[in-house]
């Protein structure tokens, strides 16, 4: 059996994979091959780890390919594919890191930690008026989570520790209290924080009219996908001082262009799509693959199977 690894694993994770692979599984690493040999090698594989270009699969996968393990949670760029084989993603592997990143960003805004870090770098002592008298509390802030997936649920648990009333927006999830755009628009004037956890399939969901419905001084955060936010509308309200700030792990264009005003706005925290990062991240991808390979060999249900057509 042949395994094709498209994921860019670090040396430690590659060693971790090679030490634990079954003896009859031959592995090929995409990054070890010259460009002209990469796609032909992929066509000969039976198991795939990673997220190759959609064009590699658009004409239909090789008849040999029997299982695809994505190395991401999201997969909206593959939603047009119809493949006759099981596909699994990373499930909730990135959920807690993303949730903690959002929590850290919110605390940074409310407690002015980013400003204090700049003052520290400049060796300036903060005046009481400059920071202390403007600091606010995350405790008790009213929060709406866009989405009810694993990231949103992890955030809900963290925010409850701060005694924050939390509502989730999702059309069909049993734990969501908001179902429609109208439901969302109705609560925004009384909401302090909106956190976008939506997948890329919800393109343009958080539109200019939703931003306009937000309470003055409220905060917008996004850890889903950059294409779900009307970024020009967000930028206008931040520059006008209407919103209290933003925590953005994702943006419409990544890397964020150097001339984007988001870089210099003092009330914006940019975490640069690092939200899912964690120690031994690459080893975690390998472990997910190895578990599913073991399930395949023993005819057990696979972990984190997905329907590509749903986009999430």
Q: Domain range holding 240?
A: 95-270
Q: Are residues 6 and 152 in the same domain?
A: no
- pLDDT for the residue 60: 77
- pLDDT for the residue 62: 85
Residue 250 CA to residue 262 CA, distance in Å, equals 12
Q: Are residues 200 and 118 in the same domain?
A: yes
Residue closest to 146 by CA, chosen among 100, 88, 91, 102: 102
Q: Are residues 231 and 155 in the same domain?
A: yes
Q: Are residues 87 and 216 in the same domain?
A: no
Q: Are residues 80 and 189 in the same domain?
A: no
Residue 183 CA to residue 185 CA, distance in Å, equals 6
Residue 133 CA to residue 147 CA, distance in Å, equals 35
Residue 120 CA to residue 255 CA, distance in Å, equals 27
Which pTM does this prediction carry?
0.94
Buried b (16+ CB within 10 A) or exposed e, 37-68: ebeeebeebbbbbbbbeeeebeeebeeebbbb
Q: What CATH number should be reported for the domain holding residue 226?
A: 3.40.50.720
Give the number of other Cβ atoms within 10 Å of residue 310's Cβ: 11
Q: Are residues 163 and 249 in the same domain?
A: yes
- pLDDT for the residue 59: 82
312 residues of the chain, pLDDT tens digit each:
999 999 999 999 999 999 999 999 999 999 999 999 999 999 999 999 999 999 999 987 788 999 999 999 999 999 999 999 999 999 999 999 999 999 999 999 999 999 999 999 999 998 888 899 999 999 999 999 999 999 999 999 999 999 999 999 999 999 999 999 999 999 999 999 999 999 999 999 999 999 999 999 999 999 999 999 999 999 999 999 999 999 999 999 999 999 999 999 999 999 999 999 999 999 999 999 999 999 999 999 999 999 998 877
Q: Are residues 8 and 36 in the same domain?
A: yes
- pLDDT for the residue 245: 98
Q: Are residues 155 and 239 in the same domain?
A: yes
- pLDDT for the residue 265: 97
- pLDDT for the residue 159: 98
Q: Are residues 32 and 105 in the same domain?
A: no
Q: Give the number of domains in the chain.
A: 2
Q: Are residues 227 and 116 in the same domain?
A: yes
Give the number of other Cβ atoms within 10 Å of residue 83's Cβ: 13
Q: Are residues 142 and 234 in the same domain?
A: yes
Buried b (16+ CB within 10 A) or exposed e, 176-196: bebeeeeebeebbeebbbbbb
- pLDDT for the residue 127: 85
């Amino acid at each position: 059996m042949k395994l094709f690894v498209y994921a860019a694993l670090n040396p430690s994770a590659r060693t971790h994979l090679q030490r634990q692979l079954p003896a009859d599984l031959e592995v090929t690493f995409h990054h070890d091959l010259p460009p002209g040999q990469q796609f032909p090698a992929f066509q000969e594989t039976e198991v795939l780890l990673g997220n190759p270009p959609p064009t590699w699969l658009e004409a239909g996968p090789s008849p040999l390919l029997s299982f695809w393990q994505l190395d991401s949670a999201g997969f909206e760029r593959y939603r047009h594919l119809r493949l006759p084989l099981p596909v699994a993603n990373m499930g909730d592997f990135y959920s807690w890191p993303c949730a903690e990143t959002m929590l850290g960003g919110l605390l940074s805004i409310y407690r002015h930690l980013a400003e204090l870090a700049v003052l520290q770098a400049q060796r300036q002592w903060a005046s009481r008026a400059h920071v202390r008298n403007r600091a606010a509390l995350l405790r008790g802030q009213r929060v709406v989570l866009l989405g009810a997936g694993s990231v949103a649920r992890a955030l809900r648990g963290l925010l409850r520790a701060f005694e924050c009333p939390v509502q989730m927006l999702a059309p069909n999830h049993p734990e969501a209290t908001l179902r429609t755009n109208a439901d969302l628009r109705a609560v925004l004037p009384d909401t302090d924080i909106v956190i976008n956890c939506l997948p890329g399939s919800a393109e343009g969901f958080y539109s200019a009219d939703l931003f306009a419905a937000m309470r003055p001084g409220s905060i917008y955060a996004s850890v889903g996908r950059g294409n779900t936010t009307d970024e020009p509308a967000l930028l206008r309200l931040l520059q006008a001082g209407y919103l209290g700030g933003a925590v953005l792990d994702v943006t419409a264009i990544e890397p964020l262009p150097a001339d984007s005003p988001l870089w210099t706005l003092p009330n914006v925290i940019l975490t640069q799509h690092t939200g899912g990062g964690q120690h031994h991240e690459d080893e975690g991808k390998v472990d997910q693959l190895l578990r599913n390979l073991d399930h395949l060999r023993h005819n057990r249900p696979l972990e984190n199977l997905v329907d590509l057509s749903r986009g999430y």
